[in-house]
């Protein structure tokens, strides 16, 4: 007698009832588990809030410029080791990575926080304001966390503390990336997210997704900004030297005037965005930041130097603008008998949130902060090197409001201002949102 013929016959209806009962039991168990985890995350976040604020104030009082985050990385690494994470240091000069191994290795969720400060002299008057000074491009300057990176590091340590406490319930693992040099490496150096990837970070740890969050003054405390697709622009800089032929200002026909050619280039370039780019597709910007040439009123100089920035919110538009810039500069110079040395230095790609990942995680954000505090962000023409991580794996980059309730964000000092102010009550929101995002993403996989 075959095994199949020996099996008892069970009516189909009975099978269906049994399956539905099993599924119902699993659903009830999962809902109970998810609810318990939500409660645990919120409780742990409340318990760690004072520590997160203390971390933030410590980092704020001891800011360090890009690729010089020596103390910051040491404090971070020590905190992660104390929590029991596997820690790797010295990535991209001063970067730190903490690996939290959960019940399984997959899914692997990465969270990124940037660590560097800016050459800005603080004017907030806070009791923990920075008094640090250093040398930057040959000048003595103040150093300040004027872009909120101190809050990013502190919040991420808070998230790490939460998830370590829930380690046995983690259905996956977490990679905590503490990144240096988001504001750009010093001249002649490499740094930031691009260098971390170049050194093989995502080859050693290949995350399934990456989350990031940035403190911004354009939202109030408790609010979270989100957007599917492009949320921040690409950022490229260009350098241009127009070579003419020096002559007496009284006899311009004896030379080639690079000042006039430079002026024609500046004017001509304006038509690239205004007349040659399809702005219904995505915004674009080309701005000149400096023009230097000549030394005396009656001498037409040999050359003029120009520098500027290019911003785009679409990668195809970015390529088109670069090509049109080269053509415009070259043709105007050639028509005047001059020569133009033109170089574009590509810095950051467009920061774009993966649409499917964004859609999937919106219910989590709504559950944590409430629908009324979810703000669909307008794309910003500032740039972020989180973009490099999001080109490798699906990414979601959110903005965190840090302007106190009752204060109009439009009047609040902007990021990079010496008066940039963070309402520390916002930090707990960031910790909760990121902790829930990790847990919910893993539960969904």
What percentage of the chain reaches a pLDDT higher than 70?
Answer: 92
Cα of 61 vs its chain's centroid, Å: 22
* Domain ranges, ordered by start, for the chain: 29-233+350-443, 235-348
Tens digit of each residue's pLDDT (9 = 90 or more) over 282-291:
999 999 999 9
* Residue 280 confidence class, pLDDT cut points 50, 70, 90: very high
Residues 6+ apart with CB under 8 A from 229: 352, 353, 355
Task: Give this prediction's pTM.
Answer: 0.88
445: number of Cβ within 10 Å: 13
Tens digit of each residue's pLDDT (9 = 90 or more) over 91-117:
999 999 999 999 899 999 999 999 999
Selected from 3.20.20.210, 3.40.50.1100, 3.40.50.10070, 3.40.630.10, the CATH number assigned to the domain covering 29-233+350-443 reads 3.40.630.10
Q: Could you list the active site residues?
A: 348, 424
* Residue 445 confidence class, pLDDT cut points 50, 70, 90: confident
* Residue 5 confidence class, pLDDT cut points 50, 70, 90: very low
SS (H, E, C) 262-305: HHHHHHHHHHHHHHHCCCCCCCEEEEEEEEECCCCCCEECCEEE
Mean pLDDT of 315-342: 97
Mean pLDDT of 296-322: 97
293: number of Cβ within 10 Å: 18
Say if residue 263 is exposed, middle or buried (CB neighbours under 10 Å; 0-12, 13-18, 19+): middle
Closest CA to 190 of 68, 65, 92: 92
Structure tokens given for 371: 């629908």
* Residue 368 confidence class, pLDDT cut points 50, 70, 90: very high
Cβ–Cβ under 8 Å, residues 409 and 400: no
Give one DSSP letter per residue of 29-65, joined into a string. HHHHHHHHHHHHHHHHHHHHHHHHHHHHHHHHHS---
Q: What's the pLDDT at 33?
A: 58
Residues 6+ apart with CB under 8 A from 295: 301
Q: What's the pLDDT at 306?
A: 98
Instruction: Give alpha helix (H) positions in 343-417.
Output: 355-369, 386-392
Q: Is the pLDDT of residue 176 over 80?
A: yes
3-state helix, strand, coil in the chain (%, to 5): 40, 25, 30
Q: What's the pLDDT at 410?
A: 96
Q: Is the pLDDT of residue 29 over 50?
A: no
Residues shown for the chain: 445
Q: Is the pLDDT of residue 50 over 80?
A: yes
* Residue 66 confidence class, pLDDT cut points 50, 70, 90: very high
Q: What's the pLDDT at 34?
A: 65
Cβ–Cβ under 8 Å, residues 336 and 256: yes
Residues 6+ apart with CB under 8 A from 50: none
Tens digit of each residue's pLDDT (9 = 90 or more) over 218-252:
999 999 999 999 999 999 999 999 999 999 999 99
Tens digit of each residue's pLDDT (9 = 90 or more) over 184-217:
999 899 999 999 999 999 999 999 999 999 999 9
Structure tokens given for 199: 């050194």
Q: Do the two domains 29-233+350-443 and 235-348 of this chain adopt the same fold?
A: no
Selected from 3.30.930.10, 3.30.70.360, 3.40.50.300, 3.30.70.980, the CATH number assigned to the domain covering 235-348 reads 3.30.70.360
Mean pLDDT of 421-445: 96
Closest CA to 110 of 419, 372, 389: 389
Cα of 34 vs its chain's centroid, Å: 29
218: number of Cβ within 10 Å: 19
Q: What's the pLDDT at 334?
A: 98
What percentage of the chain reaches a pLDDT higher than 90?
Answer: 90
């Amino acid at each position: 007698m075959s095994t199949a013929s020996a099996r008892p016959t069970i009516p189909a209806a009975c099978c269906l009832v049994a399956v539905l009962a099993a599924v119902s039991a699993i659903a009830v168990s999962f809902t109970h588990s998810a609810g318990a985890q939500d409660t645990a995350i919120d409780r742990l976040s409340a318990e760690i809030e004072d520590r997160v604020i203390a971390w933030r104030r410590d980092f704020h009082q001891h800011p360090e410029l890009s690729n010089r985050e020596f103390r910051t990385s040491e404090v971070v690494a020590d905190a992660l080791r104390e929590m029991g994470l596997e820690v790797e240091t010295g990535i991209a000069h001063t970067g730190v990575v903490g690996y939290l191994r959960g019940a399984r290795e997959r899914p692997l969720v990465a969270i990124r926080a940037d660590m560097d400060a800016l050459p800005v002299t603080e004017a907030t008057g806070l009791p923990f304001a920075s008094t640090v000074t250093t040398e930057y491009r040959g000048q003595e300057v103040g150093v300040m966390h004027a872009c909120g990176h101190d809050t990013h590091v502190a919040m991420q340590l808070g998230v790490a503390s939460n998830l370590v406490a829930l380690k046995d319930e983690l259905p996956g693992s977490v990679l905590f990336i503490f990144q240096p040099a988001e504001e750009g490496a010093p001249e002649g150096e490499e740094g930031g997210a691009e260098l971390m990837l170049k050194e093989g970070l995502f080859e050693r740890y290949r995350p399934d997704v990456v989350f990031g969050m940035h403190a911004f003054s354009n939202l109030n405390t408790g609010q979270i900004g989100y957007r599917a697709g492009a949320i921040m622009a690409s950022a490229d800089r260009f350098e241009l030297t127009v070579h003419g032929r020096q002559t007496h200002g009284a006899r311009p026909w004896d030379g080639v005037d690079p000042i006039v050619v430079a002026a024609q280039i500046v004017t001509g370039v304006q038509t690239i965005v205004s007349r040659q780019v399809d702005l219904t597709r995505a915004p674009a910007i080309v701005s000149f930041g400096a023009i230097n040439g000549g030394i005396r009123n009656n001498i037409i100089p040999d050359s003029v130097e120009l520098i500027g920035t290019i911003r785009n919110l679409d990668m195809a538009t970015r390529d088109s603008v670069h090509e049109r810039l080269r053509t415009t500069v070259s043709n105007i110079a050639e028509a005047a008998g001059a020569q133009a040395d033109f170089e574009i230095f590509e810095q950051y790609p467009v920061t774009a949130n993966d649409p499917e990942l964004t859609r999937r995680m919106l219910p989590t954000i709504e559950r944590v902060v409430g629908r009324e505090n979810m703000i669909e962000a307008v794309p910003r023409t500032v740039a972020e090197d989180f973009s490099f991580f999001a080109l490798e794996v699906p990414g979601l980059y959110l903005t965190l409001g840090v302007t106190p309730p009752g204060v109009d964000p439009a009047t609040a000092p902007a990021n990079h201002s010496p008066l940039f102010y963070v309402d520390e009550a916002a930090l707990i929101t960031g910790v909760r949102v990121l902790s829930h995002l990790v847990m919910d993403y893993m539960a969904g996989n």
